[in-house]
Amino acid sequence: MRSSKSRSRNKSNRNRNNPGNNINRVFDSSGPEGKVRGTPQQIIEKYTQLARDAFLSNDRVAAENFQQHAEHYTRLLGEAQREMEARRVQTEQQNRERQQREKEDREARPDNKPTPDVAGEGEQPNVSAPSQSDVSNDADSGLVETPESKSKKAPTRARKPRKPVKRSPDQGEASSGSAPAAPDDAPKAAE
């Protein structure tokens, strides 16, 4: 019986798509100056910089070696760009063919009305909002009455009449102000 570790280490069991020549794929390059890691464009720039430095230090062999490494990654980058362009052209062609088929299908319909490609476009149904009287008279509509659907006038309650204010004989007619008079049974202030 195999252990789970040995199965996970097996490279053939990996479920990877072939990355191919992707422009953004990261490469590990083992050059004469050690490892260089990055996308093809980054590796090209690094090796051209190393080649420039080697030329300035009069090391023609190292400079040529760095240039060859840069040229290798330049070819990889060019091939990846050609593949991407071919995929883009193929996708555009498929999209054009699909749009042409959809257009022919729309034209072949018996009603010959163009259907909108995007929701919200095209003819809209003519739906009128019910009037206020329709809403209030229709008791069988099954809708819940909301404050917005009620009439705007607030119901008024009948007010209770005010109790007459008892006035003391000394206040009389002179003080007809809004201050209530003291009740008769209340103690009077000392004079």
Q: Quick: pLDDT tens for 43-78.
A: 999 999 999 999 999 999 999 999 999 999 999 999
% of residues, the chain, pLDDT over 70: 58
Q: What is the mean pLDDT of the chain?
A: 75
What are 80-121's pLDDT values in tens digits?
899 999 999 999 999 999 999 999 888 888 665 555 566 666
- pLDDT surpasses 90 at 190: no
pLDDT at residue 78 in the model: 92
What is the residue type of 50? L
Mean pLDDT across the stretch 135-162?
68
| Alpha carbon distances (Å) from 41 to 66, 71, 78, 147 | 14, 11, 10, 67
Phi-psi region of 166 (alpha: psi -120 to 50; beta: other; left: phi over 0): beta
Q: 30 - beta bridge partners?
A: 35
* Long-range residue pairs from 68-71, CB within 8 A, at least 24 positions apart, any chain: 69/29, 69/31, 69/43, 70/43, 70/44
- The set of residues, in sequence order, having a beta carbon less than 8 Å from that of 35 and lying 6+ positions away, is 28, 29
Q: Interhelix angle for 60-108 vs 40-56, to 10°? A: 160
- pLDDT surpasses 60 at 137: no
* DSSP code of residue 191: -
**190 vs 38, which has greater pLDDT?**
38
pLDDT at residue 19 in the model: 56
pLDDT at residue 35 in the model: 83
Question: Which residue in 21, 169, 137, 35 sits closest to 84, CA to CA?
Answer: 21
First to last CA, the chain: 117
**188 vs 79, which has greater pLDDT?**
79
pLDDT at residue 1 in the model: 46
% of residues, the chain, pLDDT over 90: 31
